[in-house]
Each structure stands twice: as C-alpha cells, then as structure tokens.
Amino acid sequence: MVVLFDIWVVRFSVFDFNKILEENLESGTLLQCVQEETQLFAEFVKNREKNTEKELDKAMENTWKAVEALPYDYGSIGEKRYNKTWSIQNFYEVYQEKRDAFFFMKGYGTQYVTSLYEIYDMQEYLQKYARELMSDTLHDGNDIYREKVPGLMRIPVFMVILGGILLIGVVQQTELMKKGITEPILELAKASKRIGANDFSGEDIKTNSQDELGELVHAFNKMKYATGGYIQALEEKRKTLDLLHQEELERLSLEKHLELTRMELLKNQINPHFLFNTLNVIGGMANLEEAFTTEKMIVALSSIFRYNLKTTDPLVPLVQEIKVVQDYMYLQEMRFGGRISYEFCWLVNPEQVMIPVYTFQPLVENGIIHGLSKKEEGGKIRIRIWEKEEVIFITVGDNGIGMEQEELCALRNKLNSGENKGIGLGNIYKRITSMYQGGELLIFSKKNAGTVIRIKIPLSGIGAGGEEYVSGFGGR
C-alpha cells in the first residue's frame, strides 16, 4: 500500500513536472541553437575563417538535433503546438536545402546576394517560430501546473494519516521481530565477527526453529566450513597467479628490449643514395675548383656523419637538429645548383627546446627526393618552428609535385598501421606518438602544389610509452 501511494505521488508530481521542464528545455534549446547558427552564419559570410566554419558546422548540427528532439505527439502536446512543430520541421527542411546550396555558390553576384538575404529572412522566421513554440510550451506547462497544485496540497494530509497507521504497525512488528528474529540474528552476528577475524574454529550455532531463520542458521554453519576451504584454495591460487604474473613481466621486458634493439638498428641506417650522390658532387667540384668548396662540402658531410654516429641521446637541443639540416641543405644546394633552396624560421629558443633526435633530416630528404627532385624547375623547402599553449609545432613543407588524394590516404594508413618501416616517416611517426602523450605527425599534400608535414610535441614531457625509448637510447 505504501509503495503504491509513493508511486502515485511520484507519478503525480515529479514525472509530470519533469515533463514540463523537459519540454520547456527542448523549446528553449531550439531557440538558442537557431540564434547561435544565425550569428555564426553571418560571421562566416563575412570572413570565412576555418575556425568559424567549424563552429558553424557544430551549430548547424545542434540546430538539426534540437528540431528532431521536439515533441511530436498530437495527444500529448495538443493541436496548436503540434501544428507549430510541424511548421518548424517542414520549414527547417526547406531552409536547410537553401543554406547548403548557398555554401556551394562561387562569386558575389546577384544570385549570391539574393540567396544570402533569402537565408537571412528564413533564419528570422525560424527564430519567430521558435519563440512562438516556446511561448506555447510555457503556457501549456503553466496550465498543467495549476491543475496539479490542488492535488499536491492534499498530499501532506494523506501522509500524516498513513504515517500514523504505519507507526502502529511498526511497533507491533518490532515486538514480534525481537522475540523471533533479533536474538538469533545477534548470535549469527557474533559468529560472523569470528569468521571475519579468520577464526573458523567456533562451535556451530544451535537453533530449534524450523522456519526460514532456522534454515538460515543451518546454511550459515555450512557456509563457515565452505568459506574456510575456499580461502585456503584462494591462497594457493594467489601464489600460482603471482608466479604467472612474474613470468608475464619477464616476457614483456624481453619484448621491450627486442623493440629497442630494432629501433637502434633502424637508427644507425644511412641512406646509400644520399651518400652516393653527395660524393659524386664532391668529386666533381674537386676537379672544377681549387678545393675551397670541396673542403666546405667535406666539413658539412663529416658533421652529418659525426652527428649520426655519435649522438646517443633520444632527445637533443633544437640547435643541433638545425645545424644538421643546414649542413645537409648546403650539400643538396651544391648538388642541385640553383634548383633547390630552403628557408628556416624558428620562434623558440633553440638552446632550450628539446626534440627527438633525427627529426628534421629524414623529413627534408623526403621532401627533396619525392617532391623537388622530380620537378624540373626545382623548388624550396620551408621549415617553421613555433610554440603555442605549451606545445611545440614543427612544419616541414615543400612546393614540389605533391601527391594525389589516394596516394596521400594510402601513406597515412601505412603510418597508422605501422607498415611504413625504415628511418623516414614511419620511424619518426612511431617515436613522436610513442614518446609523447598527445604527440602527432600529420601529412598534408596536394598534387602539383606540394607537401607539408606537421609535428606536434607537448612541452609537458615524455609520456609513459616514451620512457622505454629514453631508457633504451641511454643504454646504447
């Protein structure tokens, strides 16, 4: 009886009022979403910035969800709100088609302006309909609330009467429970405390009762013996699991060392094509000049060799990586003549910023081999380094031949799946994503326009996965 009364009270008050609040929220959310979309649409038309476009896309999605979430049950919302909701949904579909078609328009001709102001007008009508729907929803909610208030005012009287009846019943039941239940349960509690202290040697609890409590006592006695045996079995199982866990840790440690060994092998590889081409250039220049240029090229090449063979740290100051790129690009400029140039700009302190070793040279080499060398007139390598919100951003770009969309997607898939092996992109991608929490390496390319590789390195430090690489390099 009490449960039924409570259910009635909850149904009478909470559920109905919650429905009112939800419907008010849904109509208010629609108006807010339409206003936000209208504002962002106007901003996007003015400047067409990438951030504004993303915010507009999110606002349009929120508006669509708000329209779909509107109550549409004729029996529960009534004819007026049903008609208004129907109008909004149908009008929004027309507006959505007009708006989406506008985004594909090019130029700023008469049709563009006409379509723009038509969308503005439709946005105003949507806001008007949303306000009217919200007003109707609030009005209906107020009517329902006024209908429920008299019933709620009578609930305290019913509660007092019901409470008195329950109090009398509770007193009577308490006396019965004290004699037939409480005392046997106290004995069970004492025995339970002994078991909780791992003492299973106590005597069995005795009772003459044949009801459910008697069955409980007999079951408790059986449980005591069963629990003792179970605890002993668990202890033996725990020892076995500890041994298995130790073996698993040793296996993981071995796998980690194998992975670090593989990384060391990849790290010490040197591109034979680069060596061959560079040595050819040095030999040719030695015949044409009085050895000054040749000497400078040899010094640059020796510096690169020294860096590759003697650098053992996984992280190095940015200034060291800059020096390697400068030496490498000098050799490439001598090789290709005036066809290839480079531009290096950093907006950070290169002495203080630490980055993974061998980050730049493989990326620059990729840009030359795959982007600029195949372009008859050559091109330029551009490297940018800057810091924003405790994150170092690095871009290495070229204006070479670029890639088709299918080729770019295939390359990205290889990076994500770990198929791209070697000391180039695959190696750098794996080190960046493994060493840093939130580290990224992204590739952007367009056919006949060029390729850009962007690296994101958080300054917060090396993540848990990167500690393995650090320890592995350090023990080289």
Higher pLDDT, 172 or 412: 412
Residue 406 has which token pair?
């299918």
Comparing C-alpha atoms, which of 324, 401, 327, 394 is closest to residue 368? 401
What per-residue confidence (pLDDT) applies to 277?
59
Whether residue 451 has pLDDT greater than 60: yes
Domain with CATH 3.30.565.10 in the chain: 268-474
What value does the mean pLDDT take over residues 198-213?
A: 68
pTM of the model: 0.43
Cα separation, 297 vs 329, in Å, equals 11
Per-residue pLDDT at 116: 84
Single-letter code of the amino acid located at 209 = S
* pLDDT of 226 higher than 90: no
Beta bridge partners of 265: none
Is the per-residue pLDDT at 298 higher than 60?
yes
How much is the pLDDT for 400? Answer: 92
Phi, psi of 69 (to 5 degrees): -80, -10
How much is the pLDDT for 471?
Answer: 45
Contact 374, 339 (CB under 8 A): no
Q: Where residue 16 falls among pLDDT bands split at 50, 70, 90?
A: low
Distance, in Å, from the CA atom of 425 to the CA atom of 316, rounded to the nearest integer, reads 19
Burial code (b: 16+ CB inside 10 Å, e: under 16) for 338-350 equals ebbebeeebeeee
Continuous H helices in 104-211: 110-177, 183-196
Q: Which CATH class is domain 2-161?
A: mainly alpha
The residue assigned the tokens 């480079």 is: 342
d(CA 236, CA 208): 38
Residue 465 has pLDDT above 70, yes or no: no
Asked whether residue 204 carries a pLDDT value surpassing 50, the answer given is yes
Are 317 and 352 spatial neighbours (Cβ–Cβ below 8 Å)? yes
- The CATH number assigned to the domain with range 268-474 reads 3.30.565.10
CATH 1.20.120 in the chain is located at 2-161
Q: What is the mean pLDDT of the chain?
A: 79
Higher pLDDT among residues 218 and 427, named by residue: 427
